[in-house]
Chains A and B, each alone.
Chain A
Amino acid sequence: MFLLIREIKYFTNFNNKMYQFLLFFQPLMILSIVYFLKQVRGDINSDKFVLASALISMWSYVLYSSGSALISQKWNDTLKLLIAAPVSLFAVILTKALSNSVIALISMILSFIYARFIFQFNIGIANYGYFLLSIVVLIFSLSVVGLILAIVFVASQNVFDFQNLILTPMILLCGVFIPVEQFPVVLKLIAYLIPMTWGIKSVQDTLVLSPFMFSSMAVSIVVSLIYLFLAYFIVKKIEVVLRKTGSLGAI
C-alpha cells in the first residue's frame, strides 16, 4: 500500500499532455455529444451514457498509461535497476497498473461532476454502498487488464505501435454501449473472457440494483484473479529471462 501511494505521488506525470486530456477533457467531450444528441430524442436514459463516458475515459487512461508505464522505464534504462532492487518485478508492474486505475477514477468522478453540474443530467445511483463496491471491483478488473497490457507491450514493441487500435474495439466489446448479451455468439465468448467486461457489468448492474449484481461482481473478481495468477507466472518467467540476458529484447 505504501508503494502504491508513493507510486501515485511520484510516478504519475500530470504534466503529460496526453494524460491531462484523457483524464480531464475526454469525459467533457463525450458528455457534450450525449447532451446535444439527447435533444434529438428526449426520452433518453442518460445514466447509462454518463457511466459510458466515465468508462471510456478510464479505459483510455489505463490503456495509455499502463502501456507506456513500463515502456518509458525501458527507455529510461531504469528497468535494470528495478531488477536489481529487492522489489519483485511483478510487484512493480502491479502497483503501476493499480495506481493507474486508481488515477483513472479521477475521470469517472469528473464525468459525474460534469454530468451533474454542467449538463444537469440526473444520475440515479440507487445505493451508494453497493455502487462503491462495484467501483472497487471495476478498478480491480481494470488493473488486471492494465497489467496484462503492460506485459504485452514490454514484450513487443510492435504491439505498442498498435495500442490505438484496441482502444475502441475494447469499448465496444466490453458492453459499454450495447449489452454483451445482444452480441453474436463468437463475440459474446470473447467479451466474457475479458475481465473488464465483468467489471463494467458489475457497475451497470449495481446502478439499477439488478438481482445479478452480486454474481456479476463475483464473476468479475474470479476472472480477474485468474488473469492475475497468469500474469504472475508470466512475469516470473520474464524476470528469469531478464536476469539471464540483461535485456528485454530477448523476450
Chain B
Amino acid sequence: MILINKYGFTNLSYKAIYSFQTIRLFIFFRIVDPFMHYVFFATLASSLVGSDYLKYVVIGNIAYYTCQTIMINYMNMFRMERRYGTLELNIASPTPTLLIILRKGIVPLLDGLFVFIVGLIIGAILFDITMPSGNLDILLLLIIITLFSVICFSLLFASVSLLFSNANLFLNLSMAFFQVFCGVNFSVTLLPEPLEILARMLPLTHSIEALRSIYNLENYEVYHLLGKEILIGVCYLIVSVFLVSVMEKLARKNGALLKNI
C-alpha cells in the first residue's frame, strides 16, 4: 500500500480540490455510475448486433470509462483552482508549473486505477467476463501502461486549461471522439482507412485491443500492442511538456491565469 502522508501534496490536493470527497459519492460515482455506463452501451450494442457482442462492448467501455474518469477529473481540478482563485498562487510558486501539474495528476491517476479495477470486477461479476487464468501479470502491466498513456494525453488538457477557463466543450467533444474512434464499441478496423490511422494515434485504442486479447475476445499480439501504447504515451508526454511551457507563457501574456470563474 502507498504510505499516505497526511500533509503530503497529493493528499492535500485531493482534499482541497477533488470532486469526490464522501464515501457515498464515491460509491455512486465509482461503482454505480460506471455500471450504468456499461449497461447503456451494452444495451445499445447488443440491441443492434446481438447479445454475443455484449462482452466485447463492456470491455471496451471499462477502459473508456477509466480514461473518462482521469480526463474529466484532472481538468476539473484546474477548474476548481480557478474557482477558488488559487491557480495563480500555485503558478507563482518556485515549483515549475509542469511539476505542479504532474503531481496533481497523481490523484486522478489513482482514481482511474480504482475505476479500472472495479470495472473489471463488475465485468466479471455482472457481465460474466472472466479472464483466462495465468494472465494476471499481463493484465497488471496493461493497466499500468493504459493509465500512463491516458494521463500523458490528459496532460494536454491540463495545459490547455491554463489558458482557457472553460475547456469543457473541448473535453466533452474529445470524450465523444474517443467513444467513437478508440475502438470502444467496435473494432477500429471497421473505420475507413484515414480514420483508422487517426484512431491508432490516440491512446486507448491499442490498450483496448490488448485488453480484449487478454480476455480472448480478440487475437492480437498483446506485447506488441502494449509497446505501441507506451510509445504513444511517450509522444503525448513530450508534446505536453512542450505545450505546458507554451501555454504558461501565453497565459501570462493575456492574463488568463488571473481570470477566475
A interface residue numbers (CB < 8 A to B):
17-18, 20-21, 25-26, 28-30, 32-34, 36-41, 44, 49, 52, 161-162, 164-165, 167-169, 171-172, 177-178
Contact = CB atoms under 8 A, between A and B. Distances in A.
B125 to A, nearest CB: 19
Given A21-B169, A168-B39, A172-B39, 15 more contacts: A18-B172, A29-B179, A33-B44, A33-B179, A36-B186, A36-B190, A37-B45, A37-B49, A39-B190, A41-B48, A44-B48, A162-B28, A164-B33, A165-B29, A178-B47
B43 A38 contact: no
Contact of B43 (A18, A20, A44, A178): A178
29 contacts: A17-B166, A17-B169, A18-B172, A21-B168, A25-B173, A28-B176, A29-B176, A33-B45, A33-B179, A33-B180, A34-B44, A36-B180, A36-B186, A36-B190, A36-B191, A39-B186, A39-B190, A40-B49, A40-B190, A41-B49, A44-B49, A165-B33, A167-B36, A169-B36, A171-B40, A172-B39, A172-B43, A177-B44, A178-B43
A169 B29 CA distance: 14
| Residue of A25, A36, A164 with most chain B CB atoms under a 10 A cut-off | A36
A20 B172 CA distance: 10
Nearest to A28: B176
Contacts of A165: 28-29, 32-33, 36
B176 A168 contact: no
B159 interface: no
Contacts of A28: 176
A32 B180 contact: yes
B25 interface: yes
Contacts of B39: 168, 172
B154 interface: no
B186 A33 contact: yes
B252 interface: no
A44 B47 CA distance: 10
A168 B37 contact: yes
Contact of B185 (A20, A33, A52, A167): A33
Contacts of B36: 165, 167-169
Contacts of A21: 168-169, 172-173, 176
Interface in B35-80: 36-37, 39-40, 43-45, 47-50, 53
Interface string B168-186: 1100110010011000011
Contacts of B37: 168
Given A25-B172, A25-B173, A26-B176, A37 B48 contact: yes
A17 B168 contact: yes
A26 B47 CA distance: 19
Contacts of B29: 164-165
Contacts of A26: 176
A34 B168 contact: no
A162 B176 CA distance: 21
A52 B43 CA distance: 12
B183 to A, nearest CB: 10
Interface string B136-174: 000000000000000000000000000000101100110
A239 to B, nearest CB: 31
A21 to B, nearest CB: 4
Nearest to B169: A17
Contacts of A169: 36
A167 to B, nearest CB: 8
Contacts of B53: 40
A196 B53 CA distance: 29
Nearest to A18: B168
Contacts of A25: 172-173, 176
